[in-house]
Structure 1
Amino acid sequence: MSDRTDTPALPAPRTALVTGAGRGIGRGIAVGLARAGYAVALVGRTRAHLDDVAAQVEALGARSVTAVADLVDADAVARAVAHVEAAFADLGGIGLLVNNAGVIERAETDLAADDVEDVWRVIETNVRGPLLVTHAVLPGMLARGGGRVLDINSGAGHRATDTYTGYGISKGALARLTTAIDAQYRHRGIRALDLAPGVVATDMTAGMPMHDGRVQWTPVEEVAELVRAFGDGELDAWSGRFVRAGADTVASLHALTQQVLDADARRLRLAAAGPDDPAV
């Protein structure tokens, strides 16, 4: 945790940039934010998918803007963010960034049996993408005195698994990015949160053998509601921490806040062996 004095987050524009917004969880988040009155920027690789979601957003009476970009391409990311900032200039710029875009390995297997190039593809997409987008969005937020960054994470980021090595590595790194943003910029009005979406029925989960036969799924609306609450500042006390849709709700998080703060819990760290453990 940063030892710098916290600066209260200023009211941020009700605008959001959502990556991977063309389908799946990103689509659900974008539509949910639009339903809540947000102007939504949709960023992804496939124009047709983004245009479909833009039509949904606008049918709800919300403003949308789209930008096609490969999120591991720094120049493409910079152009996309500049386009969104310009489009939202009259609304105050980007208030909420949702780093949702991500991939998983093609094979559900352990590291030795996996294609290491595919493992690296997952790590690069899931870490470099959010890093580049956050790096591009932060200057505007800092200039305005605040903003919120939400990273779509996973239990695999803090819990070791016997398959999908690259995915676990990438989500662990993403969790460290979230804590770094909180430590570096909380005193300048920035808030950051890791949100695991649970298990949502998407094209990605449909292709994962571990979910064959699953009948219980996390409704994407529950994910979108937690994103909305964070964007509106209701979860600012949770900055730098981890929440999970399907287990946490806005109400349950409010009830748990003081306990979590007192214990400094729900944060990525090395567990100490005891109060005098010299390694921690």
Structure 2
Amino acid sequence: MEFPSSTGITVHHTPYPFIASSKFHNSLTKNVVLITGASRGIGRATALGFASAGASVAVLARSTASLTSLVEEITTKFGTPVLAITGDVLKDAVGVVKRVEEKLGPIDILVNNAATSRMRRFTEESTSDLDSWWKVFEVNVKAPIALIHAVLPSFLAKKKGVVITVGSSVVELQAPFIPSYSSSKAAITKALQLLDIELRPLGILNFIIHPGMVKTDLSLGENSSSSVIIGDEMREVQSSYVDYMIDEPELAAQTFVALAVLASEGDEKVKTLSGRYFDVEDDLEEVLNKYDEIETRDLYKLGLKRL
């Protein structure tokens, strides 16, 4: 399987000067950010990145214990307000948002990072297995949409807001054995592409971001809460991807912060990426400088090619 790349754009695997956290120190002191899937990996790095920028941070995960060390690190290093939340977005997205706003104030930035996957031959799935197949859609599509809808009242009242949703390069690939994951990521990418038509005129920007090839529990198939990779054959397939997983989680985290800061400052170029897919390995400054070409050619959108 060949991974896509942007011709002529510098590729990064670690943070670089344009997105360096030092540039954005205390740039978001008046902002409240909610981050899902925040206990480890990209989510944890994202929480630390926004705390470094001075934001009040609400971190959401399935268990309080997994968030304890993160809260302690944010408090010790940055002293910014931080709130740990446990809850099921699928059951009560409105309740999650209400708890954040009661403790920290109206949400300015939402980061939809939580996700799940499933790898197995479709021909080996039983009828009962399809419940797990569709669970991927609930976590990867229903949950982020529910949270976006739950934060809308605050965004509309302020006439601004930023949503960052973690996408995946699988929408560009022909990757076998993960149809539920790939199609769920395609679905959320298309949904947010269309929502941008409604929301951008209201001051709400949303970005769909591939976080790079990072070694996380999800990418390594180590999600203990469910069967992500099923069977020895599938583990062999997944292990063939490991050599590509060379990106630091901070690359994604600092890209998220950079996008949020630029959006909050009203940067015209960054508005071009709203409703579009972006890969954090691509140099953000170089891509933004091609905003005219992106608009003219309607790049970074999901669609069909026709004769």
1:262 matched to 2:296 = yes
1:188 matched to 2:223 = no
1:252 matched to 2:269 = no
Q: Tell which deviates more after alignment, 110-119 or 133-142.
A: 110-119
Alpha carbons 1:12, 1:146 under 8 Å: kept: no
| One-letter amino acid of the counterpart of residue 250, structure 2 | E
Shift in Å, 1:270: 2.5
Task: Tell me, in whole angstroms, the C-alpha distance in 2 between the residues paired with 1:49 and 1:112.
Answer: 36
Shift in Å, 1:237: 2.1
Task: Tell me, in whole angstroms, the C-alpha distance in 1 between the residues paired with 2:49 and 2:29.
Answer: 18
1:53 matched to 2:87 = no
- Corresponding residue for 1:104? 117
Describe the SS at the equivalent of 2:174: coil
Alpha carbons 2:168, 2:185 under 8 Å: kept: yes
- Structure 1: state its 5+ residue gaps: 1-10, 274-280
- Normalised by the size of structure 2, how large is the TM-score? 0.78
| One-letter amino acid of the counterpart of residue 197, structure 1 | P
- Normalised by the size of structure 1, how large is the TM-score? 0.85
Shift in Å, 1:155: 1.4
- Corresponding residue for 1:3? none
1:239 matched to 2:274 = yes
Task: Tell me, in whole angstroms, the C-alpha distance in 1 between the residues paired with 2:245 and 2:101.
Answer: 39
| One-letter amino acid of the counterpart of residue 139, structure 1 | P
Shift in Å, 1:158: 4.2
Note closer, same or farther for the CA distance 1:71–1:158 as it changes in structure 2 (3 Å cut). Answer: farther
Note closer, same or farther for the CA distance 1:37–1:103 as it changes in structure 2 (3 Å cut). Answer: same
Task: Tell me, in whole angstroms, the C-alpha distance in 2 between the residues paired with 1:190 and 1:12.
Answer: 19
Alpha carbons 2:214, 2:245 under 8 Å: kept: no
Shift in Å, 1:244: 0.7
Note closer, same or farther for the CA distance 1:119–1:144 as it changes in structure 2 (3 Å cut). Answer: same
| One-letter amino acid of the counterpart of residue 259, structure 1 | E
Q: How does 1:107-118 map to 2 (within 5 A)?
A: 108-114=119-125, 115-118=129-132
| One-letter amino acid of the counterpart of residue 253, structure 1 | V
Aligned with 1:41 (options 23, 46, 58): 58
- Corresponding residue for 1:200? 214
Aligned with 2:136 (options 122, 145, 148): 122
Alpha carbons 2:33, 2:57 under 8 Å: kept: yes
- Corresponding residue for 1:7? none
Shift in Å, 1:182: 0.7
Using the aligned pairs only, state the percent identity. 28
Describe the SS at the equivalent of 1:231: helix
Aligned with 2:82 (options 48, 52, 64): 64
Alpha carbons 1:110, 1:163 under 8 Å: kept: yes
Shift in Å, 1:36: 2.1
1:172 matched to 2:206 = no
Shift in Å, 1:215: 6.2
Aligned with 1:229 (options 258, 262, 274): 258
Matched residues, number? 255
Note closer, same or farther for the CA distance 1:171–1:215 as it changes in structure 2 (3 Å cut). Answer: closer
1:84 matched to 2:100 = yes
- Corresponding residue for 1:278? none
Alpha carbons 1:19, 1:26 under 8 Å: kept: yes
Note closer, same or farther for the CA distance 1:37–1:185 as it changes in structure 2 (3 Å cut). Answer: same
- Corresponding residue for 1:30? 47
- Corresponding residue for 2:20? none
Note closer, same or farther for the CA distance 1:176–1:187 as it changes in structure 2 (3 Å cut). Answer: same
Task: Tell me, in whole angstroms, the C-alpha distance in 1 between the residues paired with 2:49 and 2:166.
Answer: 15
- Corresponding residue for 2:246? 217
Note closer, same or farther for the CA distance 1:146–1:51 as it changes in structure 2 (3 Å cut). Answer: same
Please tell me the root mean square deviation across aligned C-alpha atoms, in Å: 1.9
Task: Tell me, in whole angstroms, the C-alpha distance in 1 between the residues paired with 2:133 and 2:239.
Answer: 20
